[in-house]
Amino acid sequence: MGPEHLSSRARSAQSSAIRDLLRHARRPDVISLAGGIPDPALFPIAEMQAAFAATLAESGPDALQYGLTEGLTELRQWISARSEHRDGTPASPDRMVVTTGSQQGLDLLGRVLIDPGDAIVVEDPAYIGALQSLRGHEPTLVGIPLDADGMDTAELERRLEAGLRPVLCYLNPTFQNPTGATLSLERRQHLVGLARRFDFLILEDDPYGELRYDGQGLPSMASLDVAGDDGVVVRLRSLSKVLAPGLRVGWTVGPGWLIDALIIAKQAVDLHTSTLSQHVAYQVVAQTGFLANHVERLQASYRPRRDALLAGLEQNFGDRIQVNQPVGGMFVWGRFVDPVDTTDLLSVALDQGVAFVPGDAFAVETPARDQIRLSFATEAPDRLIEATSRLAAAVETASQ
Amino acid sequence: MGPEHLSSRARSAQSSAIRDLLRHARRPDVISLAGGIPDPALFPIAEMQAAFAATLAESGPDALQYGLTEGLTELRQWISARSEHRDGTPASPDRMVVTTGSQQGLDLLGRVLIDPGDAIVVEDPAYIGALQSLRGHEPTLVGIPLDADGMDTAELERRLEAGLRPVLCYLNPTFQNPTGATLSLERRQHLVGLARRFDFLILEDDPYGELRYDGQGLPSMASLDVAGDDGVVVRLRSLSKVLAPGLRVGWTVGPGWLIDALIIAKQAVDLHTSTLSQHVAYQVVAQTGFLANHVERLQASYRPRRDALLAGLEQNFGDRIQVNQPVGGMFVWGRFVDPVDTTDLLSVALDQGVAFVPGDAFAVETPARDQIRLSFATEAPDRLIEATSRLAAAVETASQ
């Protein structure tokens, strides 16, 4: 008995060398710009405690019993009301499934939509967790480059006109992971039109949308779509970035025929998401005004971190690195002007006490060897400045 | 856009007619013998409340943050110590992954072990949730009949000698769902020998093992296997039946090469199981003596329910139904002596105010139309007696 017994899919899923290196990012002497991990000091512990007490007092045994596969009814109703109220995105409780984080929504969508060999359009570079999940269904991934306005939909249109026939397009249109880019309104409309014309679904993964630090929000892709079962946009959302990732509470909203299929798939996968997590989450978010205030606290905390990271990069690198100027989310994306292989740089940087994720980890078709993702979410501003100075020392060492 | 966009796998996964009927089992006028659902009155609410307070006080933000894909270290260590102490089954924390219920363990095992068309051996009849999950990987299911001593391993040996080459054998050796049967020690040893000789893995799904009402326990299949990475037995366990299913905390123990593959698969599926659920579960079960005492309370509560259901069946049916005499678990399995189609019977029974699961729902190769699964877990003894009298009325009506 041994690995020769694994399925062909499991044999091709390799543990990544970068992931193995990043285990060192947990060392106390390392300042980590690697993970897209919320600052735990911002978790609303007292509210959670009160929510748990209320859950057991009010919902008692229900919070510990088996639940509906589609998710807690009150939570779906709250999500629906807030979604329509806050960003004008229709989200009927009956066209929604609560998932074990939005990562599971993506996994379930892959199961019910992708046959091996199907073409899938993604941003290039794209979110690693999505690439891992999608690759598990053995598709052909097509990477479309992006700039400060997000995915280059004109390039996608050229590929479609040349014969590309994807079953879906997965993207992170708002504060993209890893580049921080936000898809412009014009491109959002263009992409929805392309999906209708070429008959594919859009998977709008939006975990960061509430974490905006400047300016006004853009309409969600889903709100640009027709409502109801003829829609082409499926929306993935999560409480991980605005409340607490350990709850593993996300949700997927889409056309009824698709949600029905997701519920059947989820039943075989884990029956349902933790009812305890769902009840606690519901009790916290349903308090009038809580989430709006909490999101403001998060914005007020993350905004100066973004500014500190950008200032540190300017101070330590000047023109030697080109960076985006993200207006939200958790990430700064940089490109070194002089040739630096950021995968090689990582082990040197860990020795200097700073961690990041090399660009190539996110690459689909186009190598991103000279690029780098830096997260400003987890560390305080002074530590972020210190991290950029360690990074500069690492680049110096690596260039010698 | 519509269901024609679904993957071939999703198109073949149908919502079951029986499941649709069983939605009526939730009506307040219906006594449900349908679900294998713990009695919520037995949930240790006060201990959960204390556990949550302790979790937030002691582990604070960790319980709300992203966690390790393989699961909370303290929980895995506790599982390991208890498994070795209680039933002599080796379970190293490093050869274990915490899953979102044991249902997810089965799903992940299917992903990393089954290629389409692979032969999979199961009991016939078998647990519906396992059949649903396994069928998602498009295998060839081979059903081996079982009797009061569990799967007929001699029949399996004949099939293997005739050329059957399964990649795995999934079974529920202790208080089987649906029949309540327990695999004898001789057959356990026989099956482990067959797995070694014919080079397949055994998936020992054991959610009910602690719920024994008479006599002494048998060694787990895993304890009859060689320890370490040459083992052929993978064990699936859960807190759903001994603590609370809403937590969705289960675990899978197996050879290292397999656990490594499961962790990689799980990362793409849901990153990790709710850290909140894991911390709360750990805080409850780690209290000295809690779980042993709680299991005794469960046994003392379920034992008279089993007896009441059996007495009611004897009283209302006499020789007209043949039933097993389960020594543990949640289920009585019956076979009507005069021809009764239990699938047709269900809608009549719902009108009479009683629900059950028809035998055919669990059938693999051999129809079980005249058979029936009755759960005694959820209802009190007097309600179980009343349920058997309603069932007799339904049979009478259906036979007219």
Encode pLDDT of A129-161 as tens digits: 999 999 999 999 999 999 999 999 999 999 999
B336 backbone φψ class: left, alpha, beta (φ>0; ψ -120 to 50) = beta
Predicted confidence (pLDDT) per residue in A231-246, tens digit: 999 999 999 999 999 9
Q: What is the CATH number of the domain that holds A335?
A: 3.90.1150.10
Of A101, A229, A267, the CB nearest to B132: A267
Predicted confidence (pLDDT) per residue in A150-191, tens digit: 999 999 999 999 999 999 999 999 999 999 999 999 999 999
Contacts of B51 (CB under 8 A, 6+ apart): B280, B281, B283, B284
For A167, name the nearest residue in chain B, comparing CA atoms only.
B5
Predicted confidence (pLDDT) per residue in A280-294, tens digit: 999 999 988 899 999
Least confident stretch, B87-96, B102-111, B333-342, B354-363: B87-96
Q: Measure the CA–CA gap between B72 and B79, rounded to whole angstroms.
A: 11
> pLDDT confidence of A24, banded at 50, 70, 90?
confident
Our CA-based measurement puts residue B383 at a distance from the nearest CA of chain A, in whole angstroms, of 20
What sign does the dihedral A155-A160-A165-A169 (CA atoms) show? positive
Q: What is the CATH number of the domain that holds A231?
A: 3.40.640.10
Which pLDDT score is estimated for A98? 98
Of B41, B49, B257, the CB nearest to A56: B49
Q: Do B381 and B304 belong together in one domain?
A: yes
* Helix A128-135 with B256-270: angle, nearest 10 deg: 120
In a domain, A39, yes or no: yes
In a domain, B377, yes or no: yes
Q: 3-class DSSP state for residue A208?
A: coil
In a domain, A127, yes or no: yes
Which pLDDT score is estimated for B14? 61
Predicted confidence (pLDDT) per residue in B13-49, tens digit: 766 666 677 777 778 899 999 988 888 899 999 898 8
Q: Using the beta-carbon criterion (under 8 Å), do B40 and A64 form an inter-chain contact?
A: yes
Predicted confidence (pLDDT) per residue in A361-395, tens digit: 999 999 999 999 999 999 999 999 999 999 999 99
Measured between beta carbons, which residues in chain B are less than 8 angstroms from residue A70?
Answer: none
Predicted confidence (pLDDT) per residue in A334-348, tens digit: 999 998 999 999 999
Q: Using the beta-carbon criterion (under 8 Å), do A268 and B103 form an inter-chain contact?
A: yes
Which pLDDT score is estimated for B16? 65
Task: For residue B195, give both structure tokens.
Answer: 């797995």
A199 backbone φψ class: left, alpha, beta (φ>0; ψ -120 to 50) = left
Q: Do A139 and A180 belong together in one domain?
A: yes
B274 touches chain A (CB under 8 A): yes
Which pLDDT score is estimated for A15? 61
H/E element holding A97? strand A96-99
Measured between beta carbons, which residues in chain A are less than 8 angstroms from residue B258?
Answer: 5-6
B232 touches chain A (CB under 8 A): yes
Predicted confidence (pLDDT) per residue in B224-248, tens digit: 998 778 899 999 999 999 999 999 9
3-class secondary structure per residue, chain B: CCHHHCCHHHHHCCCCHHHHHHHHHHCCCCEECCCCCCCHHHCCHHHHHHHHHHHHHHCHHHHHCCCCCCCCHHHHHHHHHHHHHHHCCCCCHHHEEEECHHHHHHHHHHHHHCCCCCEEEEEECCCHHHHHHHHCCCCEEEEEEEECCEECHHHHHHHHHCCCCCCEEEECCCCCCCCCCCCCHHHHHHHHHHHHHHCCEEEEECCCCCCECCCCCCCCCHHHCCCCCCCCEEEEEECCCCCCHHHCCEEEECCHHHHHHHHHHHHHHHCCCCHHHHHHHHHHHCCCCHHHHHHHHHHHHHHHHHHHHHHHHHHHHHHHEEECCCCECCEEEEEECCCCCHHHHHHHHHHHCEECEEHHHHCCCCCCCCEEEEECCCCCHHHHHHHHHHHHHHHHHHHC
Q: Measure the CA–CA gap between A67 and B214, rounded to whole angstroms.
A: 31
CB B355 within 8 A of CB B379: no
Residue where the block lists tokens 């028809």: B358
CB B195 within 8 A of CB B202: yes
> pLDDT confidence of B91, banded at 50, 70, 90?
confident
Task: For residue A204, give both structure tokens.
Answer: 């709008």
Burial bucket for residue B161 (CB in 10 Å: 0-12, 13-18, 19+): exposed
Q: DSSP secondary-structure letter at A212? A: B
Mean pLDDT computed over B198-209: 96
The number of angstroms, rounded, from the C-alpha of A333 to the middle of its chain's C-alpha atoms is 15
In a domain, A103, yes or no: yes
Q: Terminal CA-to-CA distance of chain A, rounded, Å?
A: 48
If one compares A53 and B362, the residue with the highest pLDDT of the two is B362
Q: What count of Cα atoms within 13 Å lies in the side-chain half-sphere of residue A83?
A: 25
Q: Measure the CA–CA gap between B270 and B348, rounded to whole angstroms.
A: 41
Q: Measure the CA–CA gap between A99 and A268, rounded to whole angstroms.
A: 13
Q: Using the beta-carbon criterion (under 8 Å), do B64 and A255 form an inter-chain contact?
A: no
pLDDT exceeds cutoff 90 at B106: yes
Q: Do B182 and B325 belong together in one domain?
A: no
H/E element holding A146? strand A140-147
Q: Do A15 and A114 belong together in one domain?
A: no
Q: Is the ipTM of this complex over 0.95?
A: no
Q: Do A282 and A300 belong together in one domain?
A: no
pLDDT exceeds cutoff 70 at A18: no
Q: DSSP secondary-structure letter at A88? A: -
Among the three residues A288, A316, A342, which one is the final residue of a domain in this structure?
A288
Residue A42: C-alpha distances to residues A298, A378, B59 (Å)? 7, 10, 15
Q: Measure the CA–CA gap between B157 and B390, rounded to whole angstroms.
A: 43
In a domain, B54, yes or no: no
pLDDT exceeds cutoff 90 at B111: yes
- Torsion angle defined by CA atoms of residues B204, B77, A103 and A213, in that order, rounded to the nearest 10 degrees: 170
In a domain, A49, yes or no: no
Q: Do A284 and A388 belong together in one domain?
A: no
CB pairs under 8 A between A and B: 253
Global pTM reads: 0.94
CB A342 within 8 A of CB A253: no
Contacts of B178 (CB under 8 A, 6+ apart): B125, B126, B127, B128, B331, B333, B357, B359, B362, B373
Q: Do A298 and A384 belong together in one domain?
A: yes
CB A180 within 8 A of CB A362: no
Q: Do B261 and B173 belong together in one domain?
A: yes
Predicted confidence (pLDDT) per residue in B261-307, tens digit: 999 999 999 999 999 999 999 999 998 889 999 999 999 999 999 99
Give the number of other Cβ atoms within 10 Å of residue B76's Cβ: 24
Q: Using the beta-carbon criterion (under 8 Å), do B7 and A112 form an inter-chain contact?
A: yes
- Measured in residues, chain A has a length of 400
pLDDT exceeds cutoff 90 at A83: no
Q: Do B267 and B395 belong together in one domain?
A: no
Q: Measure the CA–CA gap between A319 and A313, rounded to whole angstroms.
A: 9
Among the three residues A262, A288, A314, which one is the final residue of a domain in this structure?
A288
B187 touches chain A (CB under 8 A): no
In a domain, B53, yes or no: no
B61 touches chain A (CB under 8 A): yes
Q: Are strands B31-32 and B119-124 parallel, antiparallel or unpaired?
A: unpaired
pLDDT exceeds cutoff 90 at B358: yes
Q: Do B272 and B226 belong together in one domain?
A: yes
Which pLDDT score is estimated for A240? 93
A68 touches chain B (CB under 8 A): no
Sheet bearing B331-336, strands edge to edge: B321-323, B331-336, B371-375, B357-358
How many domains are there within chain B? 2
In a domain, B88, yes or no: yes
Measured between beta carbons, which residues in chain A are less than 8 angstroms from residue B104?
Answer: 269-270
Q: Do A100 and A158 belong together in one domain?
A: yes
Q: 3-class DSSP state for residue A280?
A: helix
Q: What count of Cα atoms within 13 Å lies in the side-chain half-sphere of residue B399?
A: 13
Which pLDDT score is estimated for B349? 96
Q: What domain range includes position B22?
A: 3-44+292-399
* Percent of chain B with pLDDT strictly greater than 90: 81
Give the number of other Cβ atoms within 10 Å of residue B379's Cβ: 19
Q: Do A366 and A334 belong together in one domain?
A: yes
Predicted confidence (pLDDT) per residue in A310-325, tens digit: 999 999 999 999 999 9
User: Which alpha helices (DSSP H) does A208-321 contain, by range?
Assistant: 256-270, 275-285, 290-317
Predicted confidence (pLDDT) per residue in B205-217, tens digit: 999 999 999 999 9
Residue in B271, B176, B84 with CA at minimum distance from that of residue A129: B271
Our CA-based measurement puts residue A59 at a distance from the nearest CA of chain B, in whole angstroms, of 11
Mean pLDDT computed over B340-365: 94
Which pLDDT score is estimated for A16? 65
Among the three residues B250, B266, B288, which one is the final residue of a domain in this structure?
B288
Residue in A316, A325, A321 with CA at minimum distance from that of residue A337: A321
For A55, name the nearest residue in chain B, comparing CA atoms only.
B49
What sign does the dihedral A263-A248-B76-A133 (CA atoms) show? positive
Of B48, B255, B267, the CB nearest to A56: B48
